[in-house]
Structure 1
């Protein structure tokens, strides 16, 4: 998984979504852009990808599109309309763009030496595709600047969006990012 932390300036959201979809198709990867103010940390998105992949592998996914399934898990919601709030919007916003190639066999259990060698090549191919797609996204006109965006987390916005109460935060010493990841994991349980 690659992440591009950046500032986006989007004039036409439908056009931007179509463009990143075309980039994803060209390199054989999934691309999803998030409003960075709704992302707790890198691990938040890693967990969303893991759970979306598992749902797809088990044929339990809600969305037909992998990028949307990842968005649903990242948002901790089953309703696409509510999850879209976490996506990018028109105007200039801090963003994080996720680029990920779907693993063929993520755990590698039961592989012999030849299969492991093929898997290693597949992993290298995936990493290469992700890196090339990252460069293509970085070159898009909508990317105003590449800058850290996950460092300036909006705790109030995160608490509101993920329904994390003051009482809940007071009852634990877990960081907010862990509570958000818990919401992501709970989506799996609530199916």
Structure 2
């Protein structure tokens, strides 16, 4: 999984989402863009991708599209309309974009023998395409994401002050717990 932090200027949300899909299809990857305020950290997104893939493998996915399933898990919600709040919207948005090799893409073509390095190269190629159409810069694996907006995260993930006082867990850990709980609540 590769992560891209950027500022997006979206004039037409439907056209933007379609363009992400085209870039993803061209490179055999899934691309999902998030409003950065709702992203706790990189681990939050990695866990969402992992759980979305597991749901798809088991046939338990809600969405037909892998990018939407990733969004559902990242949001910790099963209702697509509620999860969409975490996505980008029209106008200027600080965003975090996930680019991940799509396992289904390799099953549907002659790339089943691709190595992890080749899949990562496909993801990096997709990021280069994204960088060409946005004000973006790649994040290195060891470079932390700036934490999302604390008040927004608490409100969106329904994390109360009492819950935060009752634990020494970080806000990011509590958000990741909400992502994992979605699996249990199904």
TM-score, reference length from structure 1 = 0.87
Distance apart, 1:145 and its partner CA = 4.5
1:54 corresponds to: 54
* CA displacement, residues 41-61 of structure 1 (integer Å, 9 cap, x when unaligned): 000000000000000111110
Distance apart, 1:122 and its partner CA = 2.1
Is the contact made by 1:36 and 1:150 (CA closer than 8 Å) also made in structure 2?
Answer: no
For this pair of structures, how many residues does the alignment match?
175
- Structure-2 change in CA distance of 1:83 and 1:178 (3 Å): same
Is the contact made by 1:7 and 1:146 (CA closer than 8 Å) also made in structure 2?
Answer: no
Q: Distance between the aligned counterparts of 1:136 and 1:53, measured in 2?
A: 24
1:131 corresponds to: 124
| Structure 2 portions without partners, runs of 5+ | 105-111
Is the contact made by 2:40 and 2:147 (CA closer than 8 Å) also made in structure 1?
Answer: no
Is the contact made by 1:49 and 1:70 (CA closer than 8 Å) also made in structure 2?
Answer: yes
Distance apart, 1:103 and its partner CA = 4.2
1:68 corresponds to: 68
- Structure-2 change in CA distance of 1:37 and 1:88 (3 Å): same
1:146 aligns with 2:141: no
Q: Distance between the aligned counterparts of 1:154 and 1:171, measured in 2?
A: 21
Look up the SS of the partner of 1:64 in the other structure.
coil
1:111 corresponds to: none
2:43 corresponds to: 43
Q: Whose radius of gyration is greater, 1 or 2?
A: 1
- Structure-2 change in CA distance of 1:79 and 1:44 (3 Å): same
Q: Distance between the aligned counterparts of 1:164 and 1:147, measured in 2?
A: 30
1:114 corresponds to: none
2:93 corresponds to: 93
Is the contact made by 1:7 and 1:147 (CA closer than 8 Å) also made in structure 2?
Answer: no
Distance apart, 1:35 and its partner CA = 0.2
Q: Distance between the aligned counterparts of 2:68 and 2:103, measured in 1?
A: 17
TM-score, reference length from structure 2 = 0.89
| Structure 1 portions without partners, runs of 5+ | 105-117
